[in-house]
Amino acid sequence: MRHETLLELATRDGIRLPDQLVSEWPPALSAADEKGWFRFQRLYDVARSVLRTEADIRRLVMEVAEDDVRDGGRWLEIQVDPSGYAAKFGGITAFTDLVLDAVRDAERSTGLGIAVIIASNRTRHPMDARTLARLAAQYVDHGVVGFGLSNDERRGRTEEFDHAFQIAEKAGLRLMPHGGELRGPEHIRTVLRSLHATRLGHGVRAAEDPALLDEIVRAGVALEVCPTSNVSLGVYSDLTSV
């Protein structure tokens, strides 16, 4: 999300932003600090709280696409957890329809190829993930290309999300869970084997285990390694999580 957009939308609705999102922008966060994740999540939730109207969602998607093109991007994948916006936008299906319509508008305007990944939240019950997997399956060939699992990987049991990923796999979606950011190689192995990941969000701690790296290469699993982190709805490339 552009900083000026964040500030403008917050001012419009009288939302008080913490200094880290105003005068101390961009916020300084450390992955080496155990509290770093919680600071990031708090700021992330505050930032996304400014998205209150359909026009806000459309603006965000368009600006992300424009910025990606400016930076030389040719393909953008937006990861979104519809359940985080369902209450404001008429449910998970209505919100997904809105995002996909905004994506089509942005594609026409910018010429950038854009796709959507539906992401479940590991801090919620695995049954919620199954619901989102079925939702994602309905949009195969209509803009949704993958199914993910995000949020603090120290929460929940990864194995309990296997049924949701089976639903997504049967629908032909790419399987893109997060893993290997806050937990090490053994958890990456769990993610790969339990969820059949075809792409791994982060995965940076695989570098601690050469045998695991060899396994990842042999399996053809791609790793999403981002040089920077942007506050937004949720994105890969320029956007980190709608």
pLDDT at 186: 94
Residue 240 has pLDDT above 50, yes or no: no
Residue 203 has pLDDT above 80, yes or no: yes
The dihedral region occupied by 90, where left means phi > 0, alpha psi between -120 and 50, and beta the remainder, is left
Residue 227's contacts (CB-CB under 8 Å, 6 or more residues apart) are none
Strands across the sheet containing 174-179? 75-80, 113-121, 144-150, 174-179, 199-202, 222-224
CATH dotted code for 53-224: 3.20.20.140
Q: What is the pTM of this model?
A: 0.88
- Give the range among 33-37, 44-48, 198-202 with minimum mean pLDDT: 33-37
Q: For 89-117, what is each residue's pLDDT tens digit?
A: 999 999 999 999 999 999 999 999 999 99
Q: Pick the catalytic residue: 77, 107, 181, 208? A: 181
- One-letter amino acid at 80 equals V
Residues of the chain with CATH 3.20.20.140: 53-224
DSSP 8-state symbol, 241 = -
Nearest to 124 by CA among 76, 94, 92, 170: 92
Given the structure tokens 């109207």, which residue do they identify?
53
Long-range CB pairs of 168-174 (<8 Å, 24+ gap) are 168/133, 168/136, 168/137, 169/196, 170/137, 171/133, 171/136, 171/137, 171/140, 172/140, 173/136, 173/137, 173/140, 173/144, 173/145, 173/146, 173/147, 174/117, 174/145, 174/146, 174/147, 174/198, 174/199
More confident residue, 228 or 81: 81
Residue 229 pLDDT level (bands cut at 50, 70, 90): very low
The strand pairing partners of 72, in sequence order, are none
Following DSSP, what letter does each residue of 204-225 receive, concatenated? Answer: GGGGG-HHHHHHHHHHT-EEE-
Whether 181 sits among the annotated catalytic residues: the reply is: yes
- Distance of alpha carbon 188 from alpha carbon 101, whole angstroms: 34
What phi, psi does 147 have (nearest 5°)? -130, 135
pLDDT at 239: 38
